[in-house]
Chain A
Amino acid sequence: MSALEIREVRKDFGSTRVLKDVSLAIDSGEFLILVGPSGCGKSTLMNAIAGLEPVTSGQILIAGKDVTWQTPAERDIAMVFQSYALYPSMTVRQNIAFGLEMRKVPKREREEAVERVADLLQISHLLDRKPSQLSGGQRQRVAMGRALAREPKIYLFDEPLSNLDAKLRVEMRTEIKKLHQRLGTTIVYVTHDQIEAMTLADSIAVMRDGHILQLGTPDEVYNDPVDMFVAGFMGSPSMNFLTATLEHEAVDYRLRVSTQGEEDVLLPWPQAHETPAMAEYVGRKVVLGLRPEHFSEEDERLGEHAEGTLFSARVTVVEPTGADILLRLPLGEKEVTARVGPKCRVAAGKRLALRIDMGRAVLFDPQTEQRLA
């Protein structure tokens, strides 16, 4: 039995269909992340799960029970809002206890729950303050405390970290992950930040225009994307899309990438990744997807053991990030981004020899943008 199951949920706002027959299921203790650009319907789906928005059709089941027409209170879920939504007139203590009070939990138990949660989130010293006296990070903790106090069946997080500054966001991200590992709670988490999605999720649902394009583990979504949108959305800097011609040479497939003013680069396609669909595309243009880290600097010490296809290009921009260096260089019709080690000594305008790891490359149909191989 799934902790949460969504069956063909559809949501119309007037004549606009915001959710188009969305279905998914997650197990108890699973951390599901809904990710996608703004307007993709992820927040609407979250509100539908919470019961804040009635669905037009379809079913929502929590722990096997149909809750489609239940009120938010009856569904036994807790939500952490982007704006935290702390009750401004109440102290932190009252904020955390409010849900328990509404559910007529005796005062003693309420106090125990507040203490437990405050300990867990290290906010014991803030309990008698008002939300207006707290910093952003503290408010975030209180908002989580309010959700945790009730021990509901499912936790919903609606972009909880997007109002924090960069450093705090990374810290809180780790804390949320720790909390999830410790408490084994079922979480549905909405974000537009693909790094949050990759780092936190057990499974990721990538959404666009009211559809779930792909539902899978972070590894699947990152390394095995179903189409160009998912491939481009996950990962930063995002995947390079190169126009290439698919050729069939003897028994192997290979890709010809033509760059103006350079020799064509011929990239052999690994046999292990061949698909039947590729046969139709021989001699036609396809889109080759290469992530920046699929490039590497040529290392002469490796000699014959070096893997990948060698090519060279004139580097146009060098962007050191500290941990590594991002390079922009012409390949195919446009420039691509390559990620190389921090010790790479290269200057803009100079030629550099690079290798491409075709073992992780992906192919797309240029028209449908669907995955070929």
Chain B
Amino acid sequence: MDNVIRRRTPGARLARAVLYTVLILAVLFYLMPLVVMLFTSIKPLEEIRAGSLLAIPLDPTFAPWAKAWGEACTGMRCEGVSVYFFNSIAIVVPAVLISTTIGALNGYALTKWRFKGSELVFALMLFGCFIPFQVVLLPMAQTLGWLGLSSSRAGLVLVHVIFGIAFTTLFFRNFYVSVPSELVSAAKLDGAGFFRIFWRILLPVSKPIIVVSVIWQFTQIWNDFLFGVAFSAHDTQPVTVALNNLVNTSTGVKEYNVDMAAAMIAALPTLVVYVLAGKYFVRGLTAGSVKG
């Protein structure tokens, strides 16, 4: 890592020690919320009331996790966040797949099958990246009503797909711009059509950008609260809304450990996705060209 050659003087050692100290402190600072959440989620209530936030759990228990998953009350019902967790999955998976697929096709068409005004179409699509979600709440509710999709999971999938397309199109368009167009010309001469060229030539080299698109969309949609709270009914709520309801339930004792466990559960999937595919995310964002 350190590829600067220099003599290790006492001054340099001291500077290095200061540098590491600062870095370690920064790491601890950023880790603290997660540590507090994790510790609190496995402490019994008595220990929380007695000790400080940062105290190490003396009597770790997973009961709060079990309760958060299966029994905790979210508003009127008391069946934990599991139902809503699966709601989220049922919304996120199709929404990610559909928006990524459409974004890939858009990017492909906008770069390799240019038509008069294709740049304008792309510029207009980019607007979608900058429109605040709040602006469209009412028209979207109206539209979902007309389509008969109000308060349904399918309606939420539709909303997320529409909003996601702007971003996924941007990703794929910028990626495909760097793929040589002669590949497409060659395939046309070989007799392949629009979809065949996409499927056989472009898609196999698109792995990095697919990963970027999937991670981005997954994180965005999983973490969405606004659309979830606005366009869902009780039984179609995503986990973020359920978490809010669970924490805000005012009956009975405030169970911080259960709240924290539920928050951890709600945050885990995006963490897992990033840990598994994070290195491709960075690679995909920086991928400039396809090696011939």
Residues of chain A touching chain B, judged by Cβ–Cβ distance below 8 Å, are 47, 50-52, 71-73, 77-79, 81-90, 98-99, 102-103, 131-132, 139, 146, 150
Contact = CB atoms under 8 A, between A and B. Distances in A.
A98 B200 CA distance: 10
A103 B189 CA distance: 11
Given A87-B201, A89-B201, A89-B205, A52 B185 contact: yes
Nearest to B190: A99
B38 to A, nearest CB: 43
Contacts of B196: 102
A85 B191 contact: no
A83 B292 contact: yes
Contacts of B189: 50, 52, 72-73, 77-79, 99
Given A72-B185, A99-B191, 7 more contacts: A83-B182, A87-B183, A88-B183, A88-B205, A89-B201, A102-B191, A150-B190
10 contacts: A52-B185, A52-B188, A72-B185, A78-B189, A85-B186, A87-B187, A98-B190, A102-B191, A102-B192, A102-B196
A325 B124 CA distance: 63
B70 interface: no
A81 B191 contact: no
B112 to A, nearest CB: 12
B292 A50 contact: no
Contacts of A72: 185, 188-189
A103 B191 contact: yes
A71 B180 CA distance: 20
A142 to B, nearest CB: 11
B6 interface: no
Query: Does more than half of chain B's interface fall in helix, strand or loop, or is it mixed?
Result: helix
Interface string B177-216: 0001011011111111000100011001100000000000
Highest count of chain A CB atoms <10 Å: which of B186, B189, B192, B200:
B189
B30 to A, nearest CB: 40
B54 to A, nearest CB: 52
A81 B182 CA distance: 7
Contact of A85 (B183, B205, B291): B183
B114 to A, nearest CB: 12
Nearest to B179: A88
Nearest to A74: B191
B201 A86 contact: no
Contacts of A82: 182
A75 to B, nearest CB: 8
Given A88-B205, A89-B204, A132-B292, A83 B188 contact: no
Contacts of B201: 87, 89
B24 interface: no
Among B190, B201, B204, residue most surrounded by chain A Cβ atoms (within 10 Å): B190
Nearest to A149: B190
A227 B280 CA distance: 59
A59 B190 CA distance: 23
A50 B192 CA distance: 14
Contacts of B185: 47, 50, 52, 72, 79, 81, 85
Nearest to A104: B191
A89 B203 CA distance: 9
A150 B192 CA distance: 14
Interface core residue of B186, B200, B201, B204 (most chain A CB under 10 Å): B186
Contact of B186 (A51, A81, A89, A139): A81
B123 interface: no
Contacts of A85: 180, 182-183, 185-186
Nearest to A81: B182
B188 to A, nearest CB: 5
B290 interface: yes
Contacts of A84: 292
Given A87-B200, A89-B204, A98 B291 contact: no
A52 B112 CA distance: 12
Contacts of B186: 79, 81, 85, 87, 146
Contacts of A78: 189
A51 B185 CA distance: 10
Contacts of A103: 191
B292 A131 contact: yes
Contact of A73 (B188, B204, B291, B292): B188
Contacts of A86: 292
